[in-house]
Structure 1
Amino acid sequence: MNLQNHKDLIQENGFTIINNIFSDEETEKISEFIQHIDTSKETFRKSEDLFAIRQFLKEIPNVKDLIFNENIKSIIKDIFGSDYFVVKSIYFDKPEKSNWYVAYHQDLTISVDRKAELPDFGPWTTKQNQFAVQPPLDILENIFTIRIHLDDTDENNGALKVIPGSHAKEIYRPETIDWTIETEEICRVEKGGIMIMKPLILHGSNRTTNGKRRRVIHIEFSDRELPCGLSWSERMEFEN
């Protein structure tokens, strides 16, 4: 697998798409693990428009070996290096008739183990005993996200739309987007494919219109330790 082109695209545009990373058999096995879990926990969010599992890899540890197959491990090593570890994981299921619309935004917070008064860290939020904070920009710039698609995804069932290159413009408020110079791109990803993105890229998604569900596993990675004894709340090593 020649990954230099994808490495260049991430640097330039803030994202890339690589299909055929998981076989149909692998995606079905992952789906089976998800179907047989207790959904009553606090880390689960369930509504007509969305089913989500926060701390996904902690909640379903048996799925870890399936997700970190040889393809994913070589992609992480060759594109980002051998020192990266998991810092956040979420599962999203956008049902067939979902009206869930996500406006353009950047992913500006990280999940940590506690609240601490640190310079350049803030604002802070707490959800389901989970501390989240906006860290200094250099920490955000160092993170990358892999989105694993368990369904074919296009503009009709909530594929991400992004503004290429916006990851390089630091904090970019959506209300200030200048559409005379920016363009929107729809990220169509096949079942078993992945999208890799920098969290600072402006991204959003539209409502589902074709009656097809969209299931995505969102995993964030970093190779940075946090200052003053603060720790990533979901830190997880994997064999790379």
Structure 2
Amino acid sequence: MFKVNVNHGHDIAAKGFAVINNVFTANQISEIEKAIKETDCSKSTFRKTDDLFAIRQFLKEVPTACKSIFSSKFTQLIEAIFGSGYFVVKSIYFDKPPQSNWFVAWHQDLTISVAKRKNVAGYGPWTVKQNQFAVQPPLNILKDNFTIRIHLDDADEGNGALKVLPGSHLKSVYRPDSIDWSVESEMICPVMAGGIMIMRPLLMHASNRTVNSKPRKVIHIEFSRIELDGGLTWSEQMEMRNFAGS
């Protein structure tokens, strides 16, 4: 059984995030990258420009990567920190190449992806991007969900590692224009290749431009254990046990 440091759970509760290195081996990373390279990129869920390559619904579009991702070590780590009952609800792959000069402004992840739009009390506003519906759910869902970012490259301040406001997840909805910089202090979160960053959706975070000509490839996976109201369904609900990693 994989043993997790109890401090990781404490950090997620108090700060809204934790970085854990050495979760994936170099061989597992190579297998994931091989699966991505061998995938047909012509679908609408793929976006490829000079400064970004992204795959929405990543686990569905690149199923051959699932076994390497959901290793017994990875799934045991999740259960050790959060307990049982969680399932995947969203997955995206980001490739920020060396020439990339885009940045991500301060924000919280306030929306979830759902299969169809339905007018349900407590859910809204709605958005749609590339035929994918997203909606802001009740706060109890956002407070219980978590995200894991799997790093396939070393990430630091020079190639867009996330910067966060520790503890900001405890402030519920926190608008970027209301950030009080006299009391807030941003923190850069470097992660080694093969490491992960776990974060709560309500954690305020941002990302700088790449300035060191190094790539940054990340797999972003969101988890929940809550069934949605009023007939709404998650767009990518998947049980981790179905991937049967080793």
In structure 1, list runs of 5 or more residues that go unmatched: none
Is structure 2 residue 82 aligned with structure 1 residue 80?
Answer: yes
User: Which of 47, 50, 53 is the aligned partner of 2:49?
Assistant: 47
Q: CA deviation at 1:21?
A: 0.3
Is structure 2 residue 141 aligned with structure 1 residue 139?
Answer: yes
What is the aligned partner in structure 2 of residue 100 from structure 1?
Answer: 102
What is the aligned partner in structure 1 of residue 238 from structure 2?
Answer: 236
The one-letter code sitting in structure 1 at the alignment partner of 2:173 is I
What is the aligned partner in structure 1 of residue 199 from structure 2?
Answer: 197
Q: CA deviation at 1:75?
A: 1.1
The one-letter code sitting in structure 2 at the alignment partner of 1:221 is F
The one-letter code sitting in structure 2 at the alignment partner of 1:72 is F
Residues of 1 paired with 2:51 and 2:18: CA distance? 27
Q: CA deviation at 1:61?
A: 1.1
Residues of 1 paired with 2:206 and 2:73: CA distance? 27
User: Which of 169, 172, 196 is the aligned partner of 2:171?
Assistant: 169
Quick check: 2:4–2:81 contact (8 Å CA) kept in 1? no
What is the aligned partner in structure 2 of residue 67 from structure 1?
Answer: 69
Quick check: 1:3–1:75 contact (8 Å CA) kept in 2? no
Q: CA deviation at 1:119?
A: 1.1
Is structure 2 residue 121 aligned with structure 1 residue 123?
Answer: no
String of CA shifts for 1:27-57, please: whole Å, max 9, x gaps: 0110011111111111111112211100000
Residues of 2 paired with 1:153 and 1:3: CA distance? 22
What is the aligned partner in structure 1 of residue 184 from structure 2?
Answer: 182
In structure 2, list runs of 5 or more residues that go unmatched: none
TM-score, with structure 1 as normaliser: 0.98
Quick check: 2:4–2:77 contact (8 Å CA) kept in 1? no
Q: CA deviation at 1:128?
A: 2.1
Q: CA deviation at 1:2?
A: 3.1
CA-based RMSD of the aligned residues comes to 0.9
Quick check: 1:3–1:78 contact (8 Å CA) kept in 2? no
How high is the sequence identity, in percent, across the aligned residues?
60
Between the two proteins, the alignment pairs up a number of residues equal to 240
The alignment partner of 2:157 has SS state of coil
Q: CA deviation at 1:127?
A: 1.7
Residues of 1 paired with 2:52 and 2:102: CA distance? 7
Quick check: 2:108–2:203 contact (8 Å CA) kept in 1? yes
The alignment partner of 1:180 has SS state of coil
Q: CA deviation at 1:62?
A: 1.5
What is the aligned partner in structure 2 of residue 5 from structure 1?
Answer: 7
Is structure 2 residue 32 aligned with structure 1 residue 30?
Answer: yes
Residues of 2 paired with 1:193 and 1:221: CA distance? 18
String of CA shifts for 1:56-87, please: whole Å, max 9, x gaps: 00101111111011221111111111100000
TM-score, with structure 2 as normaliser: 0.96
